């Protein structure tokens, strides 16, 4: 298949203009189009990395909680070595000294924060708990017509979920308390 370099460059320019406006979803579409038209278009990997990090930052676990695994583009609950390797890969693409595109510096800060959370065992444990709570809160869609047995099963599942949530809240509170105690001890030293 022939490479259409002119069209790819045009799509890349459109991606850059969208990035300057903070429209990373649209920018990603144009960047992917540019890559599809001509895989060796200049700096496309940097543009894609910026867009993907910013889009991941928009998809939060809750109203304020980032999904750091998604920002680093790793599977949830990935091993520490995988997290570290992915951070290094993205850091090379996003470092502001090497990447001058709009949004690169902010994306670099986001992956730095993600690495900071996922590299610290206590912070990572707390984040993993939040991820697990979020995953369990995702309610599967159910049909509108149920037999009595189905309704009883749904009620039981709902009660079980509520009990798990209470237990998880207690665990999160305990972890927060431990982290606060450690922070107080560090301040005293």
Within a 10 A sphere around the Cβ of 139, how many other Cβ atoms?
A: 9
DSSP H/E element including 187: helix 148-188
Contacts of 96 (CB under 8 A, 6+ apart): 104, 105, 108
135-147: per-residue pLDDT in tens?
666 545 444 444 4
Per-domain residue ranges of the chain? 5-119, 139-189
> Stretch 23-52: mean pLDDT, rounded?
95
- Which pLDDT belongs to residue 173? 74
- pLDDT value of position 62: 76
Length of the chain in terms of residues written: 189
What region, left, alpha or beta, does residue 77 occupy, with left being phi > 0 and alpha being psi -120 to 50 degrees?
left
Q: Regarding predicted confidence, which is higher, 62 or 143? A: 62
**Averaged pLDDT score across all residues of the chain:** 84
Residues 6+ apart with CB under 8 A from 138: none
CATH architecture of 5-119: Orthogonal Bundle (1.10)
In the prediction, which pLDDT does 155 show? 59
One-character DSSP codes across 71-128: HTT--TT--HHHHHHHHHHHHHHH-TTT--STTHHHHHHHHHHHHHHHHSHHHHHHHH
Q: Which of 68, 27, 65, 75 is nearest to 49 (CA)?
A: 27
* Cα Rg of the chain, angstroms: 22
pTM for the whole structure: 0.69
- The predicted-structure confidence for 63-112, as pLDDT tens digits, reads as follows 778 899 999 999 887 888 999 999 999 999 999 999 999 999 999 999 99
Q: How far apart are CA 173 and CA 21, in angstroms?
A: 40
Per-residue confidence (pLDDT) for residue 37, from 0 to 100:
94
> What is the reported pLDDT for 59?
87
So what's the pLDDT on residue 146?
45
Q: Give the model's confidence band at 54: pLDDT under 50 very low, under 70 low, under 90 confident, else very high.
A: very high
């Amino acid at each position: 298949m022939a490479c259409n370099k002119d069209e790819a460059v045009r799509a890349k320019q459109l991606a850059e203009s969208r990035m300057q406006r903070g429209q990373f979803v649209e920018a990603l579409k144009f960047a992917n189009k540019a890559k599809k038209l001509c895989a060796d278009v200049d700096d496309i990997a940097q543009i894609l990395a910026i867009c993907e990090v910013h889009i991941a930052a928009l998809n939060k676990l809750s109203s304020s909680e980032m999904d750091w695994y998604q920002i680093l583009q790793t599977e949830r609950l990935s091993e520490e070595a995988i997290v570290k390797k992915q951070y290094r890969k993205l850091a090379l693409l996003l470092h502001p000294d090497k990447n001058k595109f709009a949004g690169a510096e902010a994306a670099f800060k986001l992956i730095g924060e993600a690495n900071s959370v996922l590299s610290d065992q206590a912070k990572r444990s707390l984040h993993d708990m939040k991820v697990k709570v979020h995953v369990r809160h995702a309610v599967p869609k159910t049909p509108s017509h149920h037999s009595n047995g189905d309704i009883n099963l749904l009620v039981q599942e709902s009660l079980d979920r509520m009990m798990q949530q209470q237990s998880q809240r207690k665990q999160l509170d305990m972890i927060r308390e431990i982290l606060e105690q450690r922070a107080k001890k560090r301040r005293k030293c």
